[in-house]
Amino acid sequence: MTAVAPRVRDRHEPAVAISPAPRRRRRRYDRAAYLFMTPWFIGFAVITAGPLIASLYLSFTNFNLLQAPNWIGFANYTTMLTQDPRFWQSFGVTIAFVVITVPLQLAFALLIAVALSRKIRGTSWYRSIYYLPSLLGGSVAIAVVWGQIFNKKGIANGILALFGIHGPSWTGDPSTALATLILLNVWQFGSPMVIFLAGIKQIPGELYDAASVDGAGAWNRFRFVTLPMLTPIIFFNLVLQVIRAFQAFTPAYIISGGTGGPSDSTLFYTLYLYQQAFTNLHMGYASALAWVLLVVIAVFTAGNFLLSRFWVTYEN
């Protein structure tokens, strides 16, 4: 019987013949996906990318909405950094607000989340009640009520009067006005609380059992089990709340009457940007302020990501 020599395949010849049908089907799927994404692309170009590019151009111009933009180069940025004391005042107030309010809010949210993670009666009702401030805290009505609570004849001073203490006008005193806004922002701890609570629910119970067997008490279980396992969630909330704090506007605008007073103690950066844009009609200068804010938020966000490698622990 004659042996048949095996056929040697040429190196340029494909190993398996691929039918063109799957490729055509994949192209149809790709076209369908892009078709469904078209509204998003249009919205991004018209609502986000277009105004973003326009504001970058306007930041190098002198523009007052009534006349055509006049190109002035980096004059807006130079004026901002060297000749505008209110810019530095608003920047300092905003930095103080972010540095104080974000840690307090996250600590309070984590404390409440740990308490609500226990099996107690009516937990779902407590969660709803604690989350309610986050739904209402950014509204104009709540800012108005908050201003009424902390004015000279408000509820806060009424409570202090029961103990014989004559409180100041909290929103009218430069030394306490910013503290009332910080307290309002801390009160809106519902969103990070819910995220913390979801993270706590994902921690394996075996870790707590092992810690209890080793003799760890409630504090040590929280310190050596809960906190390390929650560091990715803490990092996530930290980034979100820092960005949100830099963009705070409504409470300062309502409580100060749009002035940032008293004595510019509540002049948030966004409020000063609003004044330049819609009160003084310095749209070019306001655009430059907006881009500086974008850069500052980007720097803080990048810094959080760089520092996260030293304290965030991932399960793998």
Q: What share of the chain in percent tops pLDDT 70? A: 92
- CA 246, 270, 44, 33 dihedral sign is positive
Q: Answer whether 110's CB lies under 8 Å from 234's CB.
A: yes
Question: Rounded to the nearest 5°, which phi and psi values hold at 279?
Answer: -100, -50
Every domain of the chain and the residues it spans: 89-308
pLDDT of residue 6: 54
Tens of pLDDT along 243-287? 999 999 999 999 999 999 899 999 999 999 999 999 999 999 999
Distance CA 34, CA 180 (A): 48
- CA 42, 46, 48, 50 dihedral sign is positive
pLDDT band (50, 70, 90) for residue 118: confident
Q: What share of the chain in percent tops pLDDT 90? A: 60
Place of tokens 């990318």: 49
| Residues across the chain | 316
pLDDT band (50, 70, 90) for residue 3: low
CATH no. of 89-308: 1.10.3720.10
Tens of pLDDT along 56-90? 999 999 999 889 999 999 999 999 999 999 999 99
Half-sphere exposure of 256 (CA within 13 A, CB side): 26
Q: Are strands 70-71 and 61-62 parallel, antiparallel or unpaired?
A: antiparallel
Q: Name the pTM for this structure.
A: 0.85
pLDDT of residue 133: 76
